[in-house]
Structure formats: C-alpha cells, structure tokens
Amino acid sequence: MKKTATFTLLILVISMILGIPNHVYADSQSDSLVRIASQARDQLKIQLSKIDASQEIKEKFELGSSEIESLIQAVKEENVSVARKHFLSAMKIFSEIIQQISEGPSTSEASLSVSQPETSRISNELDRFERYIVQLQGISDKNGFEIDFSHTHELINKARNELQEGNPEAANSTIEEVKLSINELNQMLREKTRQYTTDRAKTLAEKYLEDLDTLIAEAKEMGVSEETLTRLVEARELLNSASDASDVAQIINELKRIIAVKQDFEDTKIQRIESRITQIEEKIILLSNSKDTIPELENAIEVLSKLKVLVSEGNFNEAIRVLNSLNNLLNEIENSINRQEEVLSEAETSSSLSDSKTERIKIKIERIEVVLNNLIDKVEENAAAKRWLNNAFSLLEDAKSQVDNFPDESLETIMSIEEIIKRIQNTIQ
C-alpha cells in the first residue's frame, strides 16, 4: 500500500510542478529541483522494474534521465533558465511514462507482474464455467438425477480465491481441475440420460405388451382371421425380445410397428362389432316373428340398445363383452324355440293337425326367406358364402314345394337351410 501511495504522490507532484508558473522557478533553489527530479526518476525506475515495460517506455526513461543529468549540469553552472528547462522536460517525460503505464495493463498490489487482461480472462472463464454448471444442474434436477455438483463449485471458488490473492498460476492450475470435473459431470449426465431413456422405453414396452395381451384375447374372442391374429402374436414376440435386449432403438421401432398393427386391429374391430350388431338385429327380428311370447326377447332388445350406446361412446371393450353375452342369450332363445317346435311337430303329427302344422311351416319359410334376402349383399365378396346362399335359396324352393303334400320333408329341408344360414353368418363375421 505504501508503494502505491508513493507512486500516486509522484504523479501528483509531477502534475503540480508542470502547472507552476515560470516566474516561480526564479525564486526556487536549484538544488530543490535536482532533488525532486531525482526522486521522481528513482521512484519511476522502481515501478518500471516490476512490470514488463515496452521498449518505448524504456527509451523515454533514458531520455528523462538524460534531462536530469543536464539539469544537474545547469545547476552546477548556476544557469537557472537552462536548469528550469531541463527540469520541466524531465518531468514531462516522466509524466508521459506514467500515463502510458496507467493506460496499459494495470498491476495488482500483490504482484505487478499480473496483467489485467490475464486476470479478466481467468475471471471470465470461471464465470462461464459457473453458468455451464448451473445449466447442467438444471438438466439433472429436471430429470430427477442424483448428481453431486458440490466438488466442481468448490474448485471454482478455490480458483477465484487464488486469483484474488494474486496467484494466477495456481488459479490456472485449478481451472484445469475444473475442466476435468466438468467432463466427469458431462459423462455422468450422459450415462444417466441413456439409462433413463432405456428405462422409459422398457416401461412403455411393458405397457404395450399388456395391451397386446388384451388385443390378442379380444381377437380370439371375436373370431378374427388367422392372419390378423398372427400379426398380433408376432408383434408381441418381437417387442418382448427387444425389451429383453434393452436396445432402445429396436424397442422404439417395434413400438411404432405395434401402434400401426394396433390401429389396424382397432379399425377392423369396429367394423366387426358393427357387422355383428347387424346380424343380431336380424336374429331378433327373426325370433320376434314367433307366434309365442318370448319374455327373454324383450331383455335382448334392451341389451341391444345398451350395446349401441357403448359403440357410439367408443367403449369397444365393454361392447365386445355385452355383444358376446347378447349373442349367447339369443342362441339360448333360438334353441328353446327350436325345441318347442320339435315337440309341437311331434304333437301335431300324432294328433293329425296337418293343416295347422302346414301353416306353421309356411310361416317359418317366410321368416327364413327374409333372412336369406338380407344376406345377399353381405356375401358378395365371399365366394364360399355366396355358394352356400344359392344352395339355401334352392332348398327354400324345395321346402315350399313340399309343404302342402310332404310337410315333414319340408320341415327337414328347413332345418338344413337353418344350418346353412348359421354357417354363412359365422363365415362373414
């Protein structure tokens, strides 16, 4: 601090001397001029020894020193005007040197060999590291990673302290440790991110595996084609293999493939549900033509309404459950009616009620004809179903021709037609 004050005082003295009016020098003692000039030179020489002075400054200093030697010589000769001239010239040169030093790289009190640009560079680099660490920490916290950043912060603080103590070499050495620590943090963050991505992909894969199990069960329940069922099973096996291998890219590719397969199945599922609803409606109409009251049929109609609401709401899984339940109910009703008709047929045969029996057979023929007409448009794209339908129409004509004279044969023909209808309905589902 004492040296800094001395240097500041030197600047102040030189400024004051340069501002003294000329007539004052005539009254001043020449020895005092020599003493002041010599002290200014000596102090400036000490300061210059502590910095990396430029060649220009060194040359100016030598020129100022020469002016002092000329001052001393003029004082010896008692030439006051010449002495004043050399004194002012020396002070002006020293003032310029001080100005250059002030405008150039400044020195710290602890070590004037440390330039301000180097100090600023280290400080800026530490600021940049600190901002980068904050960014890394934000990424870590956002993803819930447990990473300790305290060591790196401690190194940065250590470097700052070393810089403030005027030890840039130690600060630079600590900065290298900071760089190594940041590299370790980056590597740790990359590894955590990779593991996080893998875990997330595997979790997603497990969810889709569960979805596929459900889809496969639904596909079997709905009686989908073997091709669709095979696609679902293969998709599940491939995803399961990718998940076991922990290959993120492969898992993602399989997930994309499964999403496409699942969408295709969903589209097909909706179409099949709607198709089965139409078939059930036709079956209900057919059963409602029975002359006997069927209490269960009213229940089936209510369930059908519920089924349509589920489909309109997009609740297809529940719709499938209700659909299967309704189909079972209608099958039971149909079987019950058939059993009753068989018993009635036997009773009519034994009681010779041929006319009544004939009429009942004719009514059944009419109902069957309605069902066959409704199937015409639905079998256009199914060659086998179309052949069966043509056969059913042919048998229907036989049943019509048999009903009056051979009612029993007509009834047997009708039963054959009903079997064909069931086969067609199962085929086009």
Which CATH number goes with the domain that contains 262? 1.20.1270
Q: Are residues 190 and 232 in the same domain?
A: no
Q: Is residue 382 part of a domain?
A: yes
Indicate the residue type of 258.
I
For position 9, which CATH number holds?
A: 1.20.120
Quick check: pTM over 0.85?
no
pLDDT at 26: 45
3-state secondary structure of 350: helix
Closest CA to 373 of 356, 393, 357: 393
- Domain match, 9 and 86 both: yes
Q: What's the CA gap between 133 and 139, in Å, rounded?
A: 10
Is 112 within 8 Å of 50 (Cβ atoms)? yes
User: Residue 132 has which token pair?
Assistant: 């980068």
Whether 33 is covered by a domain: the verdict is yes
Report if residue 75 sits inside a domain. Answer: yes
Same domain, 157 and 86: no
Shared domain for 6 and 87, answered yes or no, is yes
Q: In this structure, is residue 36 part of a structural domain?
A: yes
pLDDT confidence of residue 252:
67
Please state, in angstroms and rounded to a whole number, the distance separating the CA atoms of residues 91 and 114. Answer: 28
282 is a domain residue: no
Task: Please report, in tens digits, the pLDDT of each residue of the chain (429 residues total).
Answer: 444 444 444 554 454 454 444 444 444 567 788 888 888 888 888 888 878 777 668 767 877 787 787 788 777 767 788 788 878 878 888 888 888 777 654 433 334 344 457 888 888 889 988 888 888 888 888 778 888 999 999 999 999 999 898 898 999 999 999 999 988 988 888 888 778 777 777 777 777 777 778 777 777 766 666 777 777 787 777 777 766 655 666 666 666 676 666 666 666 667 777 777 888 888 777 777 766 667 677 788 888 888 888 888 878 778 778 887 888 888 877 777 776 666 555 555 555 545 577 888 888 888 888 888 888 888 877 888 888 888 888 888 888 888 888 888 888 888 888 888 888 887 776
Task: State the Cα–Cα distance between residues 231 and 215, nearest whole angstrom.
Answer: 11
CB 311 within 8 A of CB 274: yes
What pLDDT score was predicted for residue 174? 92
Instruction: Note the pLDDT of residue 154.
Output: 94
End residue of a domain, out of 308, 335, 351: 351
Judge if 131 and 189 occupy the same domain: yes
**The domain boundary residue, chosen from 79, 103, 127:** 103
Any residues with CB less than 8 A from the CB of 179 and at least 6 apart, and which? none
- Residue range(s) defining the domain that contains residue 224: 198-267
Residue 8 lies in a domain: yes
pLDDT for 16 equals 44
Determine the Cα–Cα distance for residues 40 and 90; give it in Å rounded to an integer.
9
Where is 202: in which H helix or E strand?
A: helix 168-222
Do 346 and 370 sit in the same domain of this protein? Answer: no
Give counts: helices (H), strands (E), the chain: 15, 0
Same domain, 64 and 124: no
Are 226 and 263 in a shared domain?
A: yes
Instruction: Note whether residue 278 is domain-resident.
Output: no
Domain boundary among 302, 328, 351: 351
Three-state secondary structure call for residue 165: coil
Domain count along the chain: 5
Clarify whether residues 345 and 319 are in a common domain.
yes
Residues 6 or more apart whose Cβ sits within 8 Å of residue 398: 410, 413
DSSP SS3 for 246: coil
Count other C-beta atoms under 10 Å from residue 36's C-beta: 19
83 domain-assigned:
yes
